[in-house]
A and B are shown apart, each in its own frame.
Chain A
């Protein structure tokens, strides 16, 4: 039941699994939805949706699925008795609805009223799942939890409208951020970027087994514990990200990488700078490339050890002059005496462990605009696609000397 809702949710991009769906069925069986659409709305959201960023998608799907279920407070005591022990709400897909609509047509109000009066006179008891009598889960114009193009809903979930309305309000729109979806995957890829060594600093809180055995033996068999410093990750990372205009289409995936890198707490040191199209005398602290928030590329080269792993992120596509010419900087006021490629080569020499991540798919690298500069940069740095696989390969590359 509701199986179409399941597929609708999945097609909206909510990763509902069978396990969760079965849990929902179990919950419905236990009556946790309280036979109301509002109850169902919150119940299925709590069970099926696991991130507030997907609440909005859920609301949209819910609205799409349940819109048109209108509440109508006309309650007849007699009829409500027939409607006890209803069938589970029957859900009709768009196609089913259309078909029914064609079959039944839109009845006019007067005829409908007359028909209802007639049914009320002749109907003897509860009747569910059919197409004529007042009941539930059918296609009769009277009753609830069913569908009829122009029927009168009697009883049932008087809250239904509110749930659909809640869904239609889309209160969670601002929580929607598709960018968080793959962060964890990026993070896992970055975890490979580690290198254990140096027992110089930190608390001695790990048992040194060898040392303990030695010390205990020396102590004539009396236990003597020896503690040592745990091995720590010594990887230092420098990320240089292109924030130029041509990167705007890739802002989302760059954001993902950005979050993943920042969440990765296992680096000994992490430095993050931006550049605009190509690297010249300055690197910037924020994505707006504000010259007032800049550091000297040269001082960076001087102060950072060569053991930093450097990840470039950029499309490497620019006007050839920006890469090969002195004074080629796209910002006129930031005149550069040396061409960008000299700076890139300098960085490559200083940091032997480096890789370039390119958000443009590798299949376009030979044909796209800017392929000339891309090829040139590719000769300096090993270049990978900015995808999970690409990041995996880049991390492998970063762990060995180029």
Chain B
């Protein structure tokens, strides 16, 4: 444990104790860390912070709905090879030059240990995580075209984020260390804002936080505002010089917090009918 890398958090990223624990467990056990949480709780930024703190380079693999597991390992550019064979530009018998390593392959082949962020793994197809199981487990893969095996020189620190749009397969989960980033409470949020906006007026901050948490408690919002939106909003409020008293009463620049029309109407209706003192609870209706 002593000579292990230890993640301590970084200046511009506030990390809770249990999250820091989870990261250190991941590093020590050399297993992927699966991070889940509401959008805007800083899942992606965590990887940057870990990389900075450990002093390792960061490789980001952004997952899209069309991403295939294979692409992360390597791509064999057959078309280029065919072209080359016709024009005789290069020696096409050397297949190696047409093998391009993907992000995962890059992380394995790197001469030093890296932090690999697999961002939003739930965007991909249902089977995607299963396809990566073996490679993440043994940290190597085989390229049949060249007969090469790419093995990790140093097991990368793998951080995987998920927005919980899809359930991940059990076999995949079993091999991960899991951490759920809970939405920050008021005090934590205050610290976070202080880090980003050190010279914000105290009154403004308090009122903005009050309004923000009230807004999150409005039942039936399609998209609850998150940390990054709050940061934008607070900045807008302070630039425009809005009087703190107005914030809770009028919710100025609401567009910075809410991104959906229906949410807009809903929260304004709530505001006018009940005010922010009494956040209404959802009444559950039977089937």
Interface residues, chain A, CB within 8 Å of chain B? 15, 17, 19-20, 23, 26-27, 30-32, 39, 42-43, 46-47, 49-52, 55, 171-172, 175, 180, 183-184, 187-188, 191, 222-223, 225, 242-245, 247-248, 250-251, 254, 263, 265, 287-288
| Chain B residues near A31 (CB-CB < 8 A) | 1
Given A23-B31, A247-B287, A251-B286, the answer on whether A42 and B18 have CB atoms closer than 8 Å is yes
Determine the distance from Cα of A188 to Cα of B130 in the docked complex, in whole angstroms. Answer: 14
| Chain A residues near B22 (CB-CB < 8 A) | 42, 46
Given A30-B28, A31-B1, A223-B82, the answer on whether A46 and B178 have CB atoms closer than 8 Å is yes
| Chain B residues near A265 (CB-CB < 8 A) | 65
| Chain B residues near A245 (CB-CB < 8 A) | 286-287
Interface residues, chain B, CB within 8 Å of chain A? 1, 18, 21-22, 24-25, 28-29, 31, 34, 36, 65, 79, 82-83, 86, 126, 165-167, 169-170, 173-180, 182, 285-287
Do A27 and B83 have beta carbons less than 8 Å apart?
A: no
Do A223 and B173 have beta carbons less than 8 Å apart?
A: no
**Nearest B residue to A18, CB-CB:** B174
Give the secondary structure class of B's interface.
Answer: mixed
Do A50 and B165 have beta carbons less than 8 Å apart?
A: no
| Chain A residues near B165 (CB-CB < 8 A) | 263
Residue in contact with B167 in the complex, picked from A19, A39, A184, A287, CB distance below 8 Å: A184
| Chain B residues near A222 (CB-CB < 8 A) | 86
| Chain A residues near B86 (CB-CB < 8 A) | 222-223
Do A47 and B180 have beta carbons less than 8 Å apart?
A: no
Do A39 and B21 have beta carbons less than 8 Å apart?
A: yes
Do A183 and B179 have beta carbons less than 8 Å apart?
A: no
Do A52 and B36 have beta carbons less than 8 Å apart?
A: yes
Do B287 and A27 have beta carbons less than 8 Å apart?
A: no
- The number of inter-chain residue pairs (CB within 8 angstroms) is 90
Determine the distance from Cα of A347 to Cα of B248 in the docked complex, in whole angstroms. Answer: 51
Do B287 and A20 have beta carbons less than 8 Å apart?
A: no
Determine the distance from Cα of A42 to Cα of B177 in the docked complex, in whole angstroms. Answer: 11
Given A19-B174, A42-B22, A225-B79, the answer on whether A183 and B167 have CB atoms closer than 8 Å is yes
Residue in contact with B285 in the complex, picked from A32, A55, A287, CB distance below 8 Å: A287
Do A32 and B174 have beta carbons less than 8 Å apart?
A: no
Determine the distance from Cα of A171 to Cα of B183 in the docked complex, in whole angstroms. Answer: 12
Do A42 and B287 have beta carbons less than 8 Å apart?
A: no
| Chain B residues near A52 (CB-CB < 8 A) | 36, 180, 182
Shortest CB distance A46–B (Å):
5
Residue in contact with B173 in the complex, picked from A30, A43, A50, A242, CB distance below 8 Å: A50
> What are 26 of the A-B contact pairs (CB < 8 Å)?
A17-B174, A23-B31, A26-B29, A27-B25, A30-B28, A42-B21, A42-B22, A43-B25, A46-B22, A46-B177, A50-B174, A50-B176, A51-B36, A51-B173, A52-B36, A52-B182, A172-B182, A180-B167, A184-B167, A187-B167, A191-B126, A222-B86, A223-B79, A225-B79, A251-B286, A263-B166
**Nearest B residue to A250, CB-CB:** B287
